[in-house]
């Protein structure tokens, strides 16, 4: 993993131009670099944190992949069977560390790229420390979960309780015996709510703006991910029509407990960025009353939270599982390569119009599994780069 042209603290020194610069040492960036290495190319991976896999290191303790071990491996190295079917957060980190070593990847940590600029036939990347790195190819892999997002609720700054983003939540110990409101019923919010119940919180409520689609992570041994792979190429309408029957078969109706079935189609929601919630305990918690669904948050005032149905509640802690922003505007917004929602207009082997040699990976959240799709993207990117190297 050590690069002879990389200083001991992780900063690149004067050296020959690498075949590619990969921005981000998470699974997407490491996969792209490894796939290029397999084709005889020498990319350099740049990571703003002091360790690779920083996003995974920062997730809450109980997190596991919701995709299976066999279908989540990155190019060129299987995930060890000892990690089990649903790989835990710490084992994902171990796998990424081993992955970088196995593929002899050059990873420079502690370097934040501030902007990507055109430079003749290639690219220049101003970075921390006054460095300007250059390469004919740049792969942007800074991640789908880059910048934590908390809505600017009216009165938010007046709240006298604790308000934190889910990215700052680690385990339930600090919240034992406390009244907690979790805002957002995606996979993160649902799992944190269950974690809080199991960890001894006195009361756990879950604020819901749009009822989610909920799927069993596995039914009779068949993982939901496998179904996602099978239907990915089907027409959206067909999947939307089929999904309610599968949901009714596998997940009980929670309407009487305050969580109605969604009205919008499952696959339509996926294409809009909303992945179904994988049930790792939330269904039983809602049915038992230990997690109470409530209306969406509208505003704050001192120790009170006002909900969209007019209800006022006074939780001691509010945990905002309200998602992330990709944070690409400062990096590439000036290149006209993002859509109106800040997403890359293309990903994988495709280059945005007018930006040859610029690639994006890891900015979608597919129903077939993010690790699997990043592995596919990596191979396609490597094949495209090798053709022009």
Q: Where are the domains of the chain?
A: 20-146+326-388, 148-323
Distance CA 253, CA 40 (A): 54
Distance CA 156, CA 42 (A): 48
User: How does pLDDT run across 293-302, given as a tens digit for each residue?
Assistant: 999 999 999 9
What does the pLDDT average to over 163-168?
97
The pLDDT value recorded for residue 181 is 98
Q: Are strands 297-301 and 304-307 parallel, antiparallel or unpaired?
A: antiparallel
Fold of 20-146+326-388: FAD/NAD(P)-binding domain (3.50.50)
The pLDDT value recorded for residue 246 is 83
Q: What percent of the chain has pLDDT over 70?
A: 96
User: How does pLDDT run across 90-100, given as a tens digit for each residue?
Assistant: 999 999 999 99
User: How does pLDDT run across 73-114, given as a tens digit for each residue?
Assistant: 999 999 999 999 999 999 999 999 999 999 999 999 999 999
User: Is residue 1 pLDDT above 90, yes or no?
Assistant: no
User: Is residue 7 pLDDT above 80, yes or no?
Assistant: no
Cβ-count burial 65-75 (b if 16+ within 10 Å, e if not): bbbbbebbbbb
Please check whether residue 113 is in contact with residue 23, taking contact to mean a CB–CB distance below 8 angstroms. Answer: yes
Q: Which of 224-238, 273-287, 340-354 has the lowest mean pLDDT?
A: 224-238
Q: Which of 185-189, 241-245, 356-360 has the lowest mean pLDDT?
A: 241-245
User: Is residue 9 pLDDT above 50, yes or no?
Assistant: no
Residue 242 DSSP SS3: helix
The pLDDT value recorded for residue 242 is 87
Alpha helices per DSSP H over 272-367: 282-288, 329-332
Phi first, then psi, for residue 342 (nearest 5°) are 80, 20
Top-tier CATH class for 148-323: alpha beta
Q: What percent of the chain has pLDDT over 90?
A: 80
Which is nearest to 200 in space by CA: 226, 222, 173, 169?
A: 173
The pLDDT value recorded for residue 16 is 65
Tell me if 20-146+326-388 shares its fold with 148-323. Answer: yes
């Amino acid at each position: 993993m050590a690069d002879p042209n990389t200083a001991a603290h992780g900063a690149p020194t004067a050296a020959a131009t690498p075949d590619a610069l990969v921005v981000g040492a998470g699974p997407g960036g490491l996969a792209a670099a490894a796939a290029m290495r397999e084709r005889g190319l020498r990319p350099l991976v740049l990571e703003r944190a002091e360790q690779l896999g920083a996003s995974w290191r920062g997730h809450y303790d109980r997190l596991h992949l919701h995709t299976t071990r066999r279908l989540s491996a990155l190019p060129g190295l299987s995930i060890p069977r000892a990690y089990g079917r649903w790989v835990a957060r710490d084992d994902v980190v171990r796998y990424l560390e081993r992955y970088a070593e196995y593929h002899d990847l050059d990873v420079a940590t502690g370097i934040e790229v501030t902007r990507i600029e055109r430079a003749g036939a290639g690219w220049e990347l101003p970075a921390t420390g006054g460095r300007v790195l250059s390469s004919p190819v740049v792969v942007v892999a800074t991640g789908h979960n880059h910048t934590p997002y908390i809505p600017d609720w009216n009165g938010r700054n007046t709240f006298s309780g604790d308000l934190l983003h889910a990215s700052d939540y680690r385990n339930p110990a600090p919240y034992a015996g406390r009244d907690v409101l979790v805002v957002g019923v995606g996979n993160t919010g649902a799992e944190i709510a269950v974690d809080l119940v199991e960890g001894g919180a006195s009361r756990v409520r879950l604020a819901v703006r749009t009822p989610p689609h909920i799927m069993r992570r596995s039914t009779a041994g068949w993982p939901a991910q496998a179904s996602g792979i099978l239907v990915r190429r089907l027409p959206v309408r067909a999947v939307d029509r089929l999904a309610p029957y599968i949901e009714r078969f596998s997940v009980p109706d929670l309407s009487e407990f305050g969580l109605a079935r969604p009205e919008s189609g499952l696959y339509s929601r996926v294409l809009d960025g909303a992945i179904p919630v994988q049930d790792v305990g939330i269904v039983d918690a809602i049915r038992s009353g230990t997690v109470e669904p409530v209306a969406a948050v509208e505003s704050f005032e001192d120790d009170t939270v006002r909900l969209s149905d007019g209800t006022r509640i006074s939780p001691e802690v509010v945990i905002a599982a309200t998602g992330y922003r990709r944070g690409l505007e400062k990096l590439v917004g000036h290149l006209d390569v993002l859509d109106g929602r800040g997403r890359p207009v293309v990903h994988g082997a495709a280059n945005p119009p007018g930006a040859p040699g610029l690639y994006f990976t890891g900015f979608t959240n597919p129903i077939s599994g993010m690790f699997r799709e990043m592995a596919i993207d990596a191979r396609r990117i490597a094949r495209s780069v090798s053709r022009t190297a």
